[in-house]
Amino acid sequence: MTAKIVQAVFTLFFLAVAVIKSYSQIIDADRSILDRNNLPGFIKEKKPEVVNPYSKDYYLSSFWQVGNVVFVNNKVLDNVLLKYDIVKHIVEIKEGEEVYLVSANSVKDFTWFNNEVSDFETFESTKNFYDLPEPLFGFMEVLVTHQNGLDEFKVLAHHDVWLYQANTSVSLSGSHRSNDLFWKDDFYLFKNGKVTRIIEKRKDNYASFSPYEAEMKKFIRNNGLFFKAREDLKQIYNEYFKLISSN
């Protein structure tokens, strides 16, 4: 009996090592093993079949989306199937039956056509923004972008998966086990290299639209818009950038 227990323990140990080894081979931009494309951040092997321990999907989109990836060395991979694992900060690229695991450290940005909303979506690495008001990881979705002369504006959404338990919430590290997960979005305004967080309360944001504070206040209230929803933010800042461009 003791020998069987020891054998079972060793079997479980080696299986665990195999899974850990597979995930440890997710590589960064300074290595390349996909020789036919000479692109960084790839490992050419099938993704290990790991059972999802959560009741909800932790991919930003549960479907494979067609898009392109720009790597930190500016090489581009076009017309591929993509997923973004928001917990592990990994971009997954599918070719045939194989799935390539790409560390977020290797990717500058990626764009896909999201069939769920019938629109293009672009995501930039948080490493593209050096002046973040707080440490962020993974990617930020670009909701609105605008160039006015030398001024560059972007409205960004940082998506995160949070664990809700016992009336408290903590950021999910990937090691928690709970049936209570929810998506959390924080929004940021990028202007000429500086990133500021967009506050949810309406009145706290009006001053940021100077010298068009009165016009924006009227537009936001008349259309019943808020600073905590993606679609509302698109409308708000598209209107603001329209005012900037026309004056």
pLDDT digits (tens, 9 = 90+) for 25-53: 443 333 343 433 444 444 444 444 444 44
What residues make up the domain containing 84?
Answer: 2-198
Confidence of residue 9 (pLDDT cuts 50, 70, 90): very low
Question: Domain check: are 177 and 221 in the same one?
Answer: no
Same domain, 46 and 117: yes
Q: Whole-angstrom distance between the N-terminal and C-terminal Cα of the chain?
A: 84
Mean pLDDT, rounded, for 126-130: 88
Number of structural domains (the chain) is: 2
- Does 191 share its domain with 207? no
Separation between Cα atoms, residue 89 and residue 137, nearest integer Å: 7
Strand ranges inside the chain, DSSP E: 65-71, 76-85, 90-95, 98-103, 107-114, 119-125, 139-148, 151-165, 168-171, 181-191, 194-197
Of 79, 154, 146, nearest to 111 by C-alpha is: 79
Judgement on whether residues 82 and 121 belong to the same structural domain of the protein: yes
pLDDT tens readout for residues 155-211: 999 988 765 554 454 554 443 344 456 677 899 999 888 899 999 888 889 988 989
143 and 243 co-located in one domain: no
